[in-house]
Amino acid sequence: MIINRHNMEIISLLRGKEASESIQCLHVDMESGKTVVTDRVAMVAVSVPNDVTDEYFPSVEGFLPATSPYSFSLNVNTVQYLLGMIPKKHKIPKIPVYQCAAIGTRDDNGNVSVGVMGDGFPTAVRVPTVGEKFPDYRSVLQKCQSRRPKSTITVDSDRLISILKLFGGGRVMIQTWGEADPIKISAERSETGQKLEALLMPMMPISKK
């Protein structure tokens, strides 16, 4: 299984959270092909990239590809260590394996073999896993997906983030009316009593030829 920076950078959801407030780890589910984090209020899952597979990763001493899928969790410090080995940009950007890590076998002590390209030269490292049981995120997703959503709206993520930043954090209310209608974002600043309202138009669906 190959993961990239997107799969690991979701640990930013946990920054600034105390260990008692969140599960301080990145969960890697090889069977579903996802990495997952949760702070007990929000959950983010990212699928593995489809532009690179295990066959792309070169042979390197100390690294053996996993022969069967398994699940494990890595603590935040371990993930940051691996991210430090993977460049954000590479001299040869058209070869995606240079910005990925390959998940290998797990030994009897629970350590996982990870292959990283780093600066272009493959390196094998063994990293410890977290013993804490990760929540059953699959059942949560399945419960949501088993019901039809009230509405499905596609919006520009950059504009949505820009609007949310204007609200300065805290509680916001999001209202929707339909796929072709704007979403309304509302909040109130408790310190000044000011009410903030924003409307964001949906994006037009991409036509399928």
What per-residue confidence (pLDDT) applies to 10? 93
Q: What is the mean pLDDT of residues 22-32?
A: 88
Q: Using a pLDDT cut of 90, give the percent of the chain over it.
A: 35
CATH code of the domain containing 91: 3.10.150.10
The CA-based angle 47-103-133, given to 5 degrees, is: 75
Number of domains in the chain: 2
Q: Could you tell me if residue 152 is inside a domain?
A: no
Q: Are 101 and 114 in contact (CB under 8 A)?
A: yes
Q: Using a pLDDT cut of 70, give the percent of the chain over it.
A: 89
Q: Please write the tens of the pLDDT for every residue from 35-70.
A: 999 888 888 999 998 888 788 788 888 888 888 999
Both 21 and 107 in a single domain?
yes
Domain that residue 131 falls in: 2-142
What per-residue confidence (pLDDT) applies to 191? 75
Both 32 and 87 in a single domain?
yes
Q: Please write the tens of the pLDDT for every residue from 137-164.
A: 888 888 888 888 878 889 999 998 888 8
What per-residue confidence (pLDDT) applies to 71? 93
Both 122 and 175 in a single domain?
no
Residue where a domain terminates, one of 142, 175, 192: 142
pLDDT band at 14 (very low <50, low <70, confident <90, very high): confident
Both 136 and 174 in a single domain?
no
Q: Could you tell me if residue 78 is inside a domain?
A: yes
Q: Could you tell me if residue 206 is inside a domain?
A: no
Both 163 and 138 in a single domain?
no
Q: What is the mean pLDDT of residues 161-176?
A: 85
Name the residue with higher pLDDT: 41 or 79.
Answer: 79
Q: What is the mean pLDDT of residues 101-120?
A: 87
Q: Could you tell me if residue 148 is inside a domain?
A: no
What per-residue confidence (pLDDT) applies to 19? 57
Q: Could you tell me if residue 149 is inside a domain?
A: no
Both 75 and 177 in a single domain?
no
Spatial distance between the Cα atoms of 104 and 101, rounded to a whole number of angstroms: 10
Residue where a domain terminates, one of 96, 112, 142: 142
Both 40 and 87 in a single domain?
yes
Name the residue with higher pLDDT: 23 or 126.
Answer: 126
Both 191 and 89 in a single domain?
no
Q: Please write the tens of the pLDDT for every residue from 80-99.
A: 999 998 877 755 556 666 78
pLDDT band at 73 (very low <50, low <70, confident <90, very high): very high
Both 85 and 130 in a single domain?
yes
What per-residue confidence (pLDDT) applies to 92? 56
Both 9 and 95 in a single domain?
yes
Both 35 and 77 in a single domain?
yes
Both 89 and 133 in a single domain?
yes
Name the residue with higher pLDDT: 207 or 80.
Answer: 80
Interstrand relation of 2-4 and 25-29 (parallel, antiparallel or unpaired): unpaired
